[in-house]
A and B are shown apart, each in its own frame.
Chain A
Amino acid sequence: MNTKITIAGVEFKNPVMTASGTFGSGMEYSQFVDLNKLGAVVTKGVANVPWPGNPTPRVAETYGGMLNAIGLQNPGIDVFIERDLPFLQQFDTRIIVNVCGKTVEDYLEVVERLGDEKVDMLEINVSCPNVKEGAIAFGQKADALYDITKAIKAKAKQPVIMKLSPNVTDITEMAKAAEAAGADALSLINTITGMKIDINRRTFALANKTGGLSGPAIKPVAVRMVYQVANAVQIPIIGMGGIANAEDAIEFILAGASAVSIGAMNFINPYTTVETVEGIEAYMQKYNVENLTDLIGAVK
């Protein structure tokens, strides 16, 4: 049985990763799970300088999911390289650094700083719905996405994953723009913009008013988008959106994802990542699947 997958020449021991923003830089959840067992750790988004993020409340529960508007709080690339990266490098897992910014220059600064670091891939966050400048401004217009992808690809020393927003009319247009600009892979979906109102206090549940919806509530939307994108582009896809267990992960893989990320469910069950790895192996055994790659996009 072989659970290995390859994305843009990078080999992963298994297809299970962590979704950016839900796993810090691995330190907090390393108390619960053995990071060596994961295909990759995808870090919280890091910018060129520290970002304070949004006011609280930043999170709210919704039916079968949650809204967040953290606002990409992060300690900046200096601290990340000095503290967080060395921590992750102790483990036998791939490191994917999520990069965020307000301007193209911000993104490029982070990408260049990471050029000489032992990092396996970069994931470019052009889809966070919770910051006013940058981020999603690049992810909702195909030409803007094309331009920033092209600019990053010109500077990046590691393969580049563009993380796509579901908050668009046609996600395949965005996927095609990123592919045309040279993206090595795509990850989808980021959170779906939502809102919750506290009827007792007659206020918004989040200080930011809107937030990104994640958790099992969004899974069918994510599976559908992965399927659509897989049929629109040739580059590999990392699928995510409400994955709670191996069954969910396999759904994404069958829809066309080469790998999957566990996001909000880490908060509900801190062992979700490793349990998903084990569950995928059990599924392969049960159905006599020799190579995990045989499952990718197997449902046409």
Chain B
Amino acid sequence: MLGKKKVNAIVDKQEMLIEGIYDMWIRTDLAQMAKPGQFISVYPKDKSTLLPRPISICEIDKPGNRLRIVYRVAGKGTTEFSSYKAGDTISILGTLGNGFPVDELKDVKKVMLMGGGIGIPPMLELAKQLNCEKDIVVGYRNEDLFLNQDLWKHGTLYIATEDGSIGTKGNVMNAVAEKGLKADVICACGPMPMLRAIKQYAKENGIKAYISLEERMACGVGACLGCVCKTTEVDHHSHVNNTRICTNGPVFDAEDVDI
């Protein structure tokens, strides 16, 4: 809980990776407390778009005091962010959420990291911080790949594309089946159908899966109760069967959430 703050960061550099996907490095002290799987909220300058945009942390550069975010342009707010140039200030709130349980994963022999589309970015920092054997399975729409050049350095990379242009045709689960991949724990981020399939797969195979969820959010700090997710057990904070993604997540043990 400690250390959340709203600060002005400086854009270090920004480039477009593929059409509609942007890669921004920002200079901020928040890098010192950031963990893989956490996110920051970015505030548009345009006052007609008030709410902050939650964006996952892709990479953490503690010595350089920098954070990397890779995001998709989806509306007015992210369109504004995509226009930022080196030296611009950017208003952010962070670091938010729990992140992946890196410490618990230290003793695991093999982890499978799975990312689908714009769920791929948080897998990069996680892959960097895990020292165990890693299979990294990522799914894209087509041959317009991004972050694959970063990811392959940190594990064995498997690619799936919906149109079959590169790697396995289909999604990340098709790649797991085709390549006969196995692991002791799964960490995943991506669209809901993918996360549902992973939850099911983990259950059938008796392995743990940590999945990162997203939902429309307002405050990002647990006050507004906008971004809840259904839980299998009564949540200790809300005392009903739902939990706050922004503070109790975004990463959950797949068994604990009813998705």
Which A residues are closer than 8 A to B by beta carbons?
21-24, 28-29, 31-32, 44, 50-53, 56-61, 63-66, 68, 70, 73, 75-76, 79, 215-216, 264, 266-271
Assess whether B14 is interfacial by the CB under 8 Å rule: no
- In the complex, 30 of the A-B residue pairs with CB atoms within 8 angstroms, ordered by the A residue number, are A22-B223, A24-B223, A28-B221, A28-B223, A29-B221, A29-B223, A32-B6, A32-B221, A52-B240, A52-B242, A53-B228, A53-B242, A56-B215, A57-B216, A58-B225, A60-B216, A61-B51, A63-B48, A64-B47, A64-B48, A64-B50, A68-B218, A73-B242, A75-B239, A76-B239, A79-B239, A266-B223, A268-B43, A270-B219, A271-B6
On chain A, the residues within 8 Å of B51 by CB distance are 59, 61, 66, 267-268
Q: In whole angstroms, what is the CA distance A58 to B218 when docked?
A: 9
- Contacting A at CB under 8 A, from B137-162, are none
Most buried by A among B43, B47, B237, B238: B238
Closest chain-B Cβ to A241's Cβ sits at a distance in Å of: 14
Task: State which of B49, B218, B239 has its C-beta within 8 Å of the C-beta of A267.
Answer: B218
**Contact across chains for B218 and A59 when beta carbons are under 8 A apart:** yes
Closest chain-A Cβ to B30's Cβ sits at a distance in Å of: 14
Assess whether B129 is interfacial by the CB under 8 Å rule: no
Q: A51-B240, A52-B241 are in contact. Are A58 and B226 (CB under 8 A)?
A: yes
Beyond the given A24-B223, A61-B51, A68-B226, please list 6 additional residue pairs across the A-B interface where CB-CB is below 8 A.
A31-B1, A50-B238, A56-B216, A59-B218, A64-B48, A70-B225
**Contact across chains for B52 and A268 when beta carbons are under 8 A apart:** yes
The 8 closest A-B pairs by CB, nearest first: A59-B226, A75-B239, A28-B223, A52-B240, A57-B216, A267-B219, A24-B223, A50-B239
Q: In whole angstroms, what is the CA distance A267 to B218 when docked?
A: 6
A contact patch SS: loop
**Contact across chains for B239 and A58 when beta carbons are under 8 A apart:** no
Task: State which of A23, A76, A264, A270 has its C-beta within 8 Å of the C-beta of B93.
Answer: A270
Q: Which of chain A's residues has its CB closest to B41's CB?
A: A267
Assess whether B4 is interfacial by the CB under 8 Å rule: yes
**Contact across chains for A66 and B240 when beta carbons are under 8 A apart:** no
Q: Which of chain A's residues has its CB closest to B5's CB?
A: A32
**Contact across chains for B223 and A268 when beta carbons are under 8 A apart:** no
Q: In whole angstroms, what is the CA distance A146 to B216 when docked?
A: 37
**Contact across chains for B222 and A66 when beta carbons are under 8 A apart:** no
On chain B, the residues within 8 Å of A29 by CB distance are 221, 223
Closest chain-A Cβ to B216's Cβ sits at a distance in Å of: 4
Q: In whole angstroms, what is the CA distance A268 to B225 when docked?
A: 15
Q: In whole angstroms, what is the CA distance A76 to B227 when docked?
A: 19
On chain B, the residues within 8 Å of A264 by CB distance are 50, 218
**Contact across chains for B47 and A58 when beta carbons are under 8 A apart:** no
Q: A60-B216, A61-B49, A75-B238 are in contact. Are A270 and B2 (CB under 8 A)?
A: no
Q: Interface readout for B202-232 with A: 1 if CB under 8 Å, 0 if not?
A: 0000000000000111111111111111000
Q: A53-B228, A60-B216 are in contact. Are A66 and B50 (CB under 8 A)?
A: yes
On chain B, the residues within 8 Å of A75 by CB distance are 237-240
Task: State which of B47, B216, B225 has its C-beta within 8 Å of the C-beta of A53.
Answer: B225
On chain B, the residues within 8 Å of A59 by CB distance are 51, 216-218, 224, 226-227
**Contact across chains for A58 and B228 when beta carbons are under 8 A apart:** yes
Closest chain-B Cβ to A250's Cβ sits at a distance in Å of: 19
Closest chain-B Cβ to A171's Cβ sits at a distance in Å of: 25
